[in-house]
Amino acid sequence: MNVEIITKEDLKQFKCEMLTEIKQFIKPGEQSQSKQWLKSAEVRKLLNISPGTLQNLRINGTLRYTKIGGMMYYKLEDITKLLEGGQQ
């Protein structure tokens, strides 16, 4: 059985790589033309998380949302801040 230890530096490097990939996906130059609000399914796909994880992010206040009718919408700006570790 192989045991690998993950250090804080490994996690920081992973974070930087993930942010780079997401920024390429969003392309900041086109951000103003792209959607400002995302639906739950789009957020889950972007962050690669399950519906339960997204619900936990809403419940504990980590990710703000707006509910219109039965649909929940999330600001792209808030998702970007969350990924960068900034305060909302």
Does residue 2 lie within any of the structural domains? no
DSSP 61: T
> Count of CB atoms within 10 A of residue 59's CB?
9
Amino acid at 65: Y
Confidence of residue 85 (pLDDT cuts 50, 70, 90): confident
Contact 50, 44 (CB under 8 A): yes
As for how many domains the chain has, the answer is 1
Q: What is the mean pLDDT of residues 8-12?
A: 92
Does residue 77 lie within any of the structural domains? yes
pLDDT at 87 over 60: no
Domain holding 23, by residue range, is: 8-84
Does residue 19 lie within any of the structural domains? yes
Does residue 74 lie within any of the structural domains? yes
Does residue 1 lie within any of the structural domains? no
The three-class DSSP label of residue 72 is strand
Digit-coded pLDDT (tens) for 64-82 = 999 999 999 999 988 888 8
Does residue 3 lie within any of the structural domains? no
Query: Listing from the earlier edge strand, what are the strands of the sheet with 71-75?
Result: 37-39, 71-75, 66-68
Structure tokens at 64: 């703000």
Q: What is the mean pLDDT of residues 28-37?
A: 63
pLDDT at 30 over 60: no
The Cα-based distances of 38 to 35, 69, 78 in angstroms read 7, 15, 11
